[in-house]
């Protein structure tokens, strides 16, 4: 599909949909962590910097902190996660999206 780009970095996938960058857990991360039981997520409007802590996930096999792959502003958070953490255990990793980031430099995404 035109305008869509998918990249992966450190067990996170990043999808550019033409206006913002959606971030989620890869299948590999899901398998390494086991069943996810809790996620500490940033708030919408929060500024994030590449390489700094973005989310913390607790699971049956480990507690893991994931660094932000991009610098920008959180534009949305998957609200389904607060209702049912099992969204992050979905077999389809695209359903396990966590948040979206805007105000990202295109060059930063291209370097991933």
DSSP for 16-60, written as a single string = E-SS-EEEEE-HHHHHHH-SEEEEE-PPTT-EE-TTSEEEEEEES
pLDDT tens track for 21-52 = 999 999 999 999 999 999 999 999 999 999 99
CATH number of the domain enclosing 83: 2.40.50.100
Q: How many domains does the chain have?
A: 1
Structural domain includes residue 110: no
Residue 79: partners with Cβ closer than 8 Å, 6 or more residues away: none
- How far apart CA 8 and CA 26 sit, in angstroms, is 8
Range of the domain at 10: 6-105
Within a domain: residue 52? yes
Domain annotation covers residue 111:
no
The predicted structure's pLDDT at residue 4: 58
- Residue at 112 is within a domain: no
What is the average pLDDT value for the chain, to the nearest integer? Answer: 93
């Amino acid at each position: 599909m035109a305008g869509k780009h998918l990249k992966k970095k450190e067990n996170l996938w990043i999808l550019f949909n033409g206006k913002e960058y959606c971030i989620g857990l890869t299948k590999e991360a899901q398998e390494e962590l086991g069943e996810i039981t809790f996620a500490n997520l940033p708030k919408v409007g929060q500024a994030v910097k590449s390489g700094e802590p973005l989310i913390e996930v607790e699971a049956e096999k480990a507690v893991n902190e994931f660094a932000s792959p991009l610098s920008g502003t959180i534009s949305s958070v998957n609200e389904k996660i607060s209702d049912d953490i099992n969204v992050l255990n979905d077999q389809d990793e695209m359903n396990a999206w966590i948040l979206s980031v805007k105000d990202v430099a295109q060059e930063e995404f291209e370097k991933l």
